[in-house]
Amino acid sequence: MTISPDEHVAVVTGASSGIGEATARTLAAQGFHVVVGARRLDRLEHLARDIGGTALELDVTDEDSVDAFAAVLPRVDVLVNNAGGAKGLATVMEADLDDWRWMWETNVLGTLRVTKALLPKLIDSGNGLIVTITSVAAFEAYDNGSGYTSAKHAQAVLHRTLRGELLGQPVRLTEIAPGAVETEFSLVRFDGDEERAAKVYEGISPLVAADVAEVIGFVASRPSHVNLDQIIIKPRDQASPGRFARKQD
């Protein structure tokens, strides 16, 4: 990867869709060389061509993949820990252990792996920024959501712990906790069931990925002494993870 000496590098995980893709576009428009990572390389290559960035295959659940990804990065100024998602909706009594493993591997251990691998370069940059996309599910539990809410709570605690551990280092930390954003999130949660996924957003005006990306762009463009610790962003139609004002036809 060739980067000019005055170029700053932003890494966005899970950039093949949704919030990650929109964030990559926003940061590229702000002048960052954006390195986009995810498993679907075809989508990433298309995006990288559009924004003049670099596409790299990345599976955050695989140690070797994360190591190979980190090894080719000449520098890292911004890391957006975005790769993640949910699988299923089930009571604790009926919890699917494989769904739990997927959510914990991707959201929690994925964030840990990537953050550990890139932290030395973020510190070396002299003005690093780590943005982690948690969720309103990192603040509240909801029925049938324990696999996801527990994973997002754990991911958030990992991120918040770093705020203290890195005190005195030139690295800022921002947690972004969105409510309902219409992306491929629900399609993934319900294993490709489009009808069920569409119902999540029925009768409300959900956020779109660009709404969240715009806020991340704001965070990344603050002066280096300003740390925005936590930002919760929800649609006006949503009061809490499970409480919506839905219009009826």
The token pair at 243 is 């409480």
Hey, which residues between 51 and 70 contact ligand NAP (CB under 6 A)? Answer: 58-61
x/- map, 81-110, ligand NAP, by CB under 6 A: -xxxx--------------------xx--x
Q: Which of 10, 12, 17, 145 binds ligand NAP (CB under 6 A)?
A: 17
- The residue number whose beta carbon is nearest to ligand NAP equals 18
Q: Residues 195-224: x/- map of binding to ligand NAP (CB under 6 A)? A: --------------x---------------
**Across the chain, which distance is largest between two alpha carbons, in Å?**
57
State the virtual CA torsion across 125, 122, 57, 1 in degrees, nearest 10: 10
Q: How far is the CB of 109 from ligand NAP (least distance, A)?
A: 10
Residue 135 binding ligand NAP, by CB under 6 A? yes
Which of 148, 185, 201, 244 is catalytic? The answer is 148
Please state, in angstroms and rounded to a whole number, the distance separating the CA atoms of residues 195 and 181. 17
Which of 181, 197, 204, 215 contacts ligand NAP by CB under 6 A? 181
Helix then strand count (H, E) for the chain reads: 9, 11
Rounded Cα–Cα distance for residues 179 and 233 (Å): 6
In the sheet with 128-133, reading across from the earlier edge strand, the strands are 54-57, 33-38, 9-13, 78-81, 128-133, 171-178, 230-233
Q: Is 148 a catalytic residue?
A: yes
Angle between helices 63-71 and 110-124 (to 10 degrees): 20
Which residues of this protein are in contact with ligand NAP, per CB under 6 A?
Answer: 13-20, 38-40, 58-61, 82-85, 106-107, 110, 133, 135, 178, 180-181, 183-185, 188, 209
Q: Which residues are catalytic?
A: 148
